Structure 1
Amino acid sequence: MTFTNSTPLAVPHPDTETLKQIWSFIDETRGPFCALSDKLWETPEVNYTEYRSAQLLAEMLETQGFRVTRGIAGIPTAMMGEAGSGGPVIAILGEYDALPGLSQQADVAEPAPVVAGGNGHGCGHNLLGTAALQAASAVKAWLAEHRLPGRVRWYGCPAEEGGSAKGFMVRAGVFADVDIAICWHPNAFSGVIEANSLACNEINYHFSGRAAHASASPHLGRSALDAVELMNVGVNYMREHMPSSARIHYAVTDTGGHSPNVVQANATVRYLIRARELPGLQQLVKRVDNIAAGAALMTETTFTRQVLSGDANLIGNSVLEQRMQSHLELLGPPPFDRADAEYAVRFQQTLGQEEIRSAYERYSLPVDYQRPLCDEILPLRRPYSDMVGSTDVGTVSWVVPTVQVYGATYAIGTPGHSWQLVAQGKAPAAHKGMMHAAKIMASTAADLFTHPDLIAQAQAEHATRLNGVEFVNPIPDDVEPPFPKQHA
């Protein structure tokens, strides 16, 4: 796949008055949206169970005057709010799922769960969903005030953490008429998100054999657990012969029982397979499938596979990225103050130098152990990091030109998916970073509505980057979203 940069059209920036109007709306609505984010933080729900969170967000959509459609793509906790008419359609994507086992009291700089073993917003999605909705609300008000054609949509996207809900939403066609998609993610730094993620599939491999007495009649047994172990050995040997950018992880989810004197008739291993791009992922999955078949052959067992979820890799768009970068440079970094810095220092003191250094190295920045919070905008063109994960925004980016921004909301060095990140989720710095990201998303959307030539050029670049590669959704058609059926 050939990814080429393109030079954006020479169109003027939005006038100062437009920026003031958009950004003033964000400032003026600080109270209700910060309160909404905090309520979501206090209601941490894991993927496909975000019923209370979805209700809070839907109520805010209705309060802001959006036309709300709930349960889109057949997912009870997914929704869409739309405002405006005619013109281009610009989507702003929101997430609101939490993570299991990360319950943590706010502002406490030591492990202190609210509920032992409970959930927590360890990736800042309480901020993510709220800022996206606030940005959409600002664009809605701006379109209405100026009587401009165009529709802004806020998409409520549940289950990003391992649930790949956006992939199901893409498969259902909910983005089919969207011209541009905009998103963001909390981070330690502010800047345009580089199109650097891994395509992935999460797959269960279930082996079936034959039980027997492990001592009296071992020759009659066919061990499914042996098959799982042999598969893991085979995949581990394959690591030497796969691209260095690929990643494979596994967990044995069913060992077949706890009795060593019984030959295990059933066992399951779950694999998360990642590759730089979708075509490479498809090839790597086939190789893992072949190893599973070999393990079954060696143990005289059978196996079945079940795809649970999947994400495509992110497709970049330099037209949109350069445009968003210009807005970041106009606005500047988040307005953190001394109190925010002193707060962040408390959490940096719970980290090692390796964690802080790693945060800088990811963006090829000089390490500064004395800096607690971001006070700059990341450069647009920076070396890609090898330390990347996967996101279901990638699947959206294959069907819609997509751009994202990082919003600085927590102390530099804070690991993702950590109790430290949860603890900082209601802090004044988190609110400032959230609103900063909302301003960038909203003003970028307004810019695109004002300059449809930019939309056309972004779409042309999107087609060029795909370069004729057929999009194959990493979630097969026969896989259903794993939401609790009693709520459907």
Structure 2
Amino acid sequence: MTDRLHSGLDRRSVLGSLGLGGAMAAVGTPTIVLAQAEAPPMPREDDGTLPKPREDTLPPASSGAAAEAVEAVRDAILRISREVWATPELSLAEVKSHRIHLRELEAAGFTTKSRGTSGIPTAFISEWSQGSGGPIIGYLPEYDALPGLGNAAEPRQTPGATGAEVGHGCGHNMLGAGCTGGALALKRLMQADGTPGTIRVYGCAAEETEGAKVYMARDGLFEDLDAAIAWHSAPFAGAGNVRLAAFNQIQVRFHGRTGHAGSAPWEGRSALKAAEMFGVGIQMMREHILPTSRMHYIYQAAGVAPNIVPDFAQVWIVARDADREKLGALSKWIGEVAEAAAMATQTRAEFEIFFGSHDLLPNEPLARHLYRHMLAVPIEFTDDEQAFARACQREMGVPEAGMSTRPLPFIEDVSAGASSDLGDVSYQVPTGVFAWPTIPLGIGLHTWPVTACGGMSIGDKGSLATARILAACGHDLMTDAGLRKAAREDFRARRGDAPFVSPLPKDRTAPLGLDPHFIKTGDDELFADITVGTPG
């Protein structure tokens, strides 16, 4: 692929914008940077008129009906987005947030099939069905927030009502509202024309850390879907054949022997020295790994006092590559470096891959269909909203270009270095995902302006517009066997026939970072109504 896309946008700029939430602050979703403030000018005929639209870019007939259905559930969609924004909760602790989604789903006639799904206390599955048989379409709302990104709905860095410790700096309040709102609107569309089928909403907790989708996929909970669809916040509207990387989250623990660092250092064996040598070994790898490989790490424990030889040190490292096979080889090498560092320092190493995901498989029929629906939805912002966006850009020191109002051209085959737990879904079922502008141009995900915009009218518009796109596409999937067949054929061609193998260790029954409160006996009042299990 050339370094320049046909749209005129810099390839690096587009790749940096396709994290789809990545897998997380913890895993380092890349910053969004746009080299251009807008998509390039539309091409024109020799006489100056716009060219006639291609058939595959014309808006499907369901778009107008979906707009009416979304308007009918508008209040519910905005309640979800605004309430989740106002009560931000970190991954694996989204107690209030998941209840907000379930409240609106149950009020609309959906049945809660599972809570605490696949061992994740704040995950759930909710369903609504009509008629006998029919397709099953899945929606994938997320609702966890990020540390340090709490902000008021103001165009400056200032704490919100709950302070600055936690905030929706990846837009999951809007993402969740759009996905659940799309399901609510699709129900109305199906009731209006008697379409048989099942709408299934997966409460995708903890996307920023140890995503519930991976645990659900291991339990086979997506396998009976005809398709799964979702969206993510971005500085522009876009869809295409975008592939994200597979990743592993790894903890390396070194155990040594303590000693007095001044009086008798020879009696000790420093776990910190082992961790430092491990870091040097990772740097020595970098020249020789594949261009698709990524490695980034932090020291989580490195001793308690300089005059005590550290007997324990811990490193958290994330490894990524284009697919699970390449990632397996990279992870094996990292493990060998850990063992070598332990041998060199006469310490002991523990190497644990505690979480991971597949690469994201694109699905061209779904991406192109979502793109058609995107083109049918106006991207409009008021003067006040554009001024808000420019003020955020001014505070962040980027060009004051405001909000994007034109979608990108359809994105052809692109591979990005970011990752998402959506990858495991895409290996079990045809999966479509798109981006929608809720962030000022030139602003990255995982920053305070994302939180700020998500708490005001820019965020409201994003939730409503994406619900319309998702509802319309969902209805088309329910009623168009040809679309479902094309999506399935594309899925099989990309996926191949190899059996699905979860990247989770077989003995990993719950996330490493799960708060101990969740695994009490049930006497804890705060979590008394949360159960852990899978659908019966």
TM over 0.5: yes
1:338 aligns with 2:383: yes
Equivalence for 1:54 = 98
8 Å contact kept, 1:332–1:377: no
Q: 1:84-103 residue pairs with structure 2 within 5 A?
A: 84-85=129-130, 86-103=133-150
The offset of 1:87, in angstroms, is 0.9
Q: Deviations over 1:31-61 (max 9, x none)?
A: 2321221110011001110001111111101
8 Å CA contact 1:214, 1:263 repeated in 2: yes
Residue 357 of structure 2 aligns with an amino acid whose one-letter code is D
Q: Which position in structure 2 is the counterpart of 1:428?
A: 457
Residue 296 (structure 1) aligned to one of 307, 331, 342: 342
Q: In the TM superposition, what whole-angstrom CA distance separates every residue of 1:366-409 from its partner, at most 9, and x where no partner exists?
A: xxx563111111111347375x4211111111111100011111
The alpha carbon displacement at 1:100 in A equals 0.9
Q: For the Cα contact (< 8 Å) 2:256–2:346, is it kept in 1? A: yes
Letter in 2 for 1:266: F
In the alignment, the residues of structure 2 paired with residue 466 and residue 279 of structure 1 have an alpha-carbon distance, to the nearest angstrom, of 14
1:187 to 231, 234, 245: 234
Change (3 A) 1:380 1:339: same
CA contact (8 A) 1:194 1:316 kept: yes
Moved more, 98-107 or 26-35: 26-35
Answer yes or no: is 1:374 the counterpart of 2:404.
yes
Specify the code of the residue in structure 2 equivalent to 1:372.
G
Which shows bigger deviation, 476-485 or 281-290? 476-485
Secondary structure of 1:135 counterpart? helix
Cα gap change, 1:97 to 1:12, in 2 (>3 Å): closer
Identify the match of residue 34 of structure 1 among 78, 83, 90. 78
User: What do residues 6-50 of structure 1 show as CA deviations (whole Å, max 9, x unaligned)?
Assistant: xxxx9998863x332211111232223212211100110011100
> What corresponds to 2:176 in structure 1?
129
Match of 2:111 in 1: 67
What residue is the counterpart of 2:32 in the other structure?
none
Task: Show the counterpart of 2:297.
Answer: 250
Count of matched residue pairs: 460
> Displacement of 1:337 after TM fit?
2.5
Contact preservation (8 Å) 2:178, 2:462: no
Q: Give yes or no for the alignment of 1:443 onto 2:487.
A: no
Q: Which residue of 2 aligns with 1:311?
A: 357
| Partner residue in 2 for 1:360 | none
In structure 2, the gaps of 5 or more residues are 1-54, 520-536
1:487 to 518, 528, 533: 518
Name the residue aligned to 1:362.
none
Q: Is the 8 A contact 1:199 1:274 kept in 2?
A: yes
Which of 83, 92, 104 is the equivalent residue of 2:151? 104
CA distance in 1, matches of 2:330, 2:82: 41
What SS class does the counterpart of residue 237 from structure 1 fall into?
A: helix
1:403 aligns with 2:447: no
Give the percent of matched residue pairs that are identical in Structure 1 and Structure 2: 33
1:384 to 398, 411, 414: 414
Indicate which of 251, 258, 276 corresponds to 2:322.
276
Query: 1: distance between equivalents of 2:393 and 2:272?
Result: 44
1:265 to 311, 315, 326: 311
Please tell me whether residue 467 in structure 1 is matched to residue 458 in structure 2: no
CA contact (8 A) 1:209 1:224 kept: yes
- CA apart distance, 1:194: 4.2
RMSD: 2.0
Q: Which moved more, 1:120-129 or 1:161-170?
A: 161-170
**Runs of 5+ unmatched residues, structure 1:** 1-9, 354-368
Question: Match of 2:284?
Answer: 237
CA distance in 2, matches of 1:277, 1:382: 19
- Shift of residue 344, structure 1, vs aligned partner: 1.3
- Partners of 1:72 and 1:174 within 8 A in 2: no
Which residue is equivalent to 1:321?
A: 367
Q: Does the 8 Å contact 1:249/1:271 carry over to 2?
A: yes
Report the secondary structure of 1:152's partner residue: strand
The separation in 2 between residues aligned to 1:54 and 1:193, in whole angstroms, is 30
Residue 274 of structure 1 and its aligned partner are, at CA, apart by: 1.2
Measured at CA, do residues 84 and 14 of structure 1 come closer, stay the same or move farther in structure 2, by a change above 3 Å?
Answer: farther
What is the rounded CA distance, in whole Å, between the counterparts of 1:385 and 1:286 in structure 2? 23
**Which residue does the alignment assign to 2:217?**
170
SS of equivalent residue, structure 2 residue 489 = helix
1:80 aligns to 2:125 (yes or no) = yes
Report the TM-score, using the length of structure 1 for normalisation.
0.90
What is the CA–CA distance in structure 2 between the aligned matches of 1:117 and 1:343, rounded to whole Å?
20
Q: 1:130 to 1:229 in 2, by over 3 A?
A: same
Deviations 1:281-311 (A, max 9, x none): 1111111001001001111111112333212
Residue type of the alignment partner of 2:385: D
Secondary structure of residue in 1 paired with 2:247: strand
Alpha-carbon distance in structure 2 between the residues aligned to 1:417 and 1:194: 24
Note the C-alpha offset of 1:176. Answer: 2.1
Distance 1:100 1:370, change over 3 A: closer
Task: Please list the CA deviations of residues 60-92 of structure 1 after superposition, one character each: whole Å capped at 9, or x if unmatched.
Answer: 011111011222212221111111142111101
